[in-house]
Amino acid sequence: MTHTEPPILQGKVKSVYDVPGEADKVSIVFHDKVTAWNGKAVEYPPEKGKICCLISAVIFQMLEKNGIRTHFLGTEGFDTMVCRKLTIVPVEVIVRNIAAGSIVKTTHLTEGTLIQPAIVEYFLKDDAKDDPLLTYDRVRLMGVDPEPLKEQALMINYQLQSLFTLMGIDLVDFKLEFGYDVHGDLYLADEMSPDNMRLWKRGTKERFDKDLFRKDEGDIVEAYKYILQHLRQFAVS
């Protein structure tokens, strides 16, 4: 679809548009772009947007089949999702199963340390403030109830771990965003792709996620294609 109007929201790698004549829907366009450190590093890998869109579609449909409400309604072409319009909660939720990334930098944990049970963390959704870590009580002070976010996050973690285990992949950690519809119902939003999760080959630290770009360790497009290829056997028909 060609959009003649400007996006209602321009993210780092996605654009969000109103759907003409359907006030309760938006279309989300994925771009051939990858960023790190809040946009300080940028590249434009061909096909990357399409791959992330297709991976997200498969995962959203799997989660819906297993009782998780998501904003996903369908796809248009290969790089666009049609989704419910939501009011996005200004808190990013991180689920950690294995220590990597910021938790290694800010604690004495070493990369690869198993985290059992999984932990849920909250971060302010604000690039200008570098998305700082929030306490449970600070989330509440913002007028956001963290309990349903945590409950949904752990349910999603269970479903995703089950899925990726069948693929021989360790789900290290992942970021979630949520939103409420006009009726006050909570939905999983944003995307579900290697752009917002860490994926390692089972029992190793071979990466299939955006850390390949962050650490300059390989081709993210080929890694993402590997994930898509193996996910497709679990696609909801």
Q: Is residue 60 part of a domain?
A: yes
SS3 state at 226? helix
State residue 236's pLDDT score.
Answer: 72
17 and 113 assigned to the same domain: no
Confidence of residue 2 (pLDDT cuts 50, 70, 90): low
29 and 41 assigned to the same domain: yes
Q: Is residue 230 part of a domain?
A: no
Q: Structural domain tally of the chain?
A: 2
ω into 194 cis (within 30 of 0): no
Per-residue pLDDT reduced to its tens digit, 96-154: 999 999 999 999 999 999 999 999 999 999 989 999 999 999 999 999 999 999 999 99
State residue 1's pLDDT score.
Answer: 57
CATH number for the domain spanning 64: value is 3.30.200.20
Please list, residue by residue across 56-66, b when 16 or more beta carbons sit within 10 angstroms of its beta carbon and e when fewer do.
Answer: bbbbbbbbeee
Amino acid at 56: S
116 and 67 assigned to the same domain: no
pTM of the model: 0.95
Q: Is residue 79 part of a domain?
A: yes
Q: What average pLDDT is seen over the chain? A: 95
% pLDDT > 90, the chain: 91
Mean pLDDT of 41-49: 95
Q: Is residue 13 part of a domain?
A: yes
Amino acid at 6: P
75 and 112 assigned to the same domain: no
Place of tokens 């590093």: 41
pLDDT at 237 over 70: no
70 and 97 assigned to the same domain: no
Q: Which helix (H) or strand (E) holds 9?
A: strand 9-10
Are the CB atoms for 139 and 146 separated by under 8 Å?
yes
78 and 170 assigned to the same domain: no
Helix boundaries (H) for the chain: 48-65, 102-106, 136-141, 146-166, 211-214, 220-231
57 and 129 assigned to the same domain: no
- Give the helix, strand, coil percentages of the chain, each rounded to 5: 30, 30, 35
93 and 166 assigned to the same domain: yes
Q: Is residue 91 part of a domain?
A: yes
Mean pLDDT of 10-28: 95
Domain boundary among 84, 105, 136: 84
State residue 87's pLDDT score.
Answer: 97
Q: Is residue 177 part of a domain?
A: yes
Q: Which domain holds residue 29?
A: 9-84
CATH number for the domain spanning 120: value is 3.30.470.20
Mean pLDDT of 7-21: 94
State residue 40's pLDDT score.
Answer: 77
Per-residue pLDDT reduced to its tens digit, 183-215: 999 999 999 999 999 999 998 999 999 999 999
Q: Is residue 65 part of a domain?
A: yes
116 and 160 assigned to the same domain: yes
Q: Is the dihedral of CA 126, 131, 137, 138 positive or negative?
A: negative
Instruction: Enter the tokens of residue 3.
Output: 């959009």
pLDDT at 39 over 80: no
41 and 139 assigned to the same domain: no
Are the CB atoms for 54 and 78 separated by under 8 Å?
yes
98 and 190 assigned to the same domain: yes
Classify residue 70 by its DSSP letter.
B
94 and 204 assigned to the same domain: yes
pLDDT at 3 over 80: no
